[in-house]
Amino acid sequence: MIETDIIIIGAGPVGLFAIFEAGLLKLKCHLIDSLPQAGGQCSEIYPKKPIYDIPGFPSVLAGDLVDNLMEQARPFKPGFTLGEAAEKIEKQEDGSFIVTTSKGTQHHAPIVMIAGGLGVFEPRKPPVENLADYEDKGVEYIIKDPEFYRGKRCVIAGGGDSALDWSIFLAEKNIASEVALVHRRSSFRGHLDSVQKVMDLAEAGKIKLITEAEVVGVAGEGKVENVTIKHQKQGEIVMDTDHFIPLFGLKPSLGPIADWGLEIEKNAIKVDTRDYSTNIEGIYAIGDVNTYEGKLKLILCGFHEGTIALQSAFARIHPDKKNVLKYTTVNGVQGF
């Protein structure tokens, strides 16, 4: 049994910043995440993607933001249970909680803070009959490390920001030897500047842009060797490739959290905006996993929510203690 003051479910940016804020209150945190590393989507899905709305950083790569948050949390010695999903929560007679993971690891604390982002993700897969046969054999639904595609031929499918951004990155940085972008429409859903950059790279011969088309088949002996593209005007095109990467986004769901008796609205946890508490006393929800009137799904909003929630958590853990707000500019970090 792992004992701590606060169990944080979700080790994304919001959960990681909560460690720091809890540390200032002398509260210990232990984080649970189904992913094998901390950072949530920022580490798993787009570590090399720049983020522009973090205060004080005109631009910061998602992976670098995670590294900075880990460094910020390090003085407070958090614990981590990674690669295990939080599956069951049980409220004890004294009001505390036991959270059990998918591998049976148990955690005990008076406070549970859910910072699970958008929940559990599953990729949206195109309707290609034998696609599953080539998963991890040349078919990938997210790009984790662009260096994996060094010198390889890549066919990317999709019309959103992810498909555009990765096509640009692999082509512009000369990582992939060939980049083809296939989209079923002639217009894209992504940012206009990204669309223009793809057009410019296509004109320069760095991206093979195939619109009004979709990938309908994948073939190869034990791994991807070619894809069949159905074009609305040209008919079927067979293209040799090493990787087929359909980037159609991810489908989020709350997973086991949805069965914990929490009040759910639109696949998110309803909270009281006074302290981001849920309908179960002692359980809070912060970041993209929660919902309330006026909710904005931004990392910086999650930072605020976690800070307020932890003030409430302190009062619940220490009802007889008065917390006097101290400023890090005066006390530093070691002064807490």
Return binding residues: 33, 41, 46, 86, 121, 288, 329
The CA distance from 130 to 151, in Å, is: 26
Residue reference for tokens 């070619």 = 226
3-state class (DSSP) for residue 335: coil
CB 8 within 8 A of CB 320: no
Known binding residues for FAD are 33, 41, 46, 86, 121, 288, 329
Q: How big is the CA angle at 331 (ends 329 and 332), to the nearest 5 degrees?
A: 70
How many separate helices (H) and strands (E) can be counted in the chain?
Answer: 7, 23
- Angle at which helix 161-172 crosses helix 192-203, to 10 degrees, equals 40
The pair of structure tokens assigned to 34 is 């189904």
Neighbours of 67 (CB within 10 A): 17
Of the chain, the end-to-end C-alpha distance in Å amounts to 27
Report which DSSP code applies to 224.
Answer: -
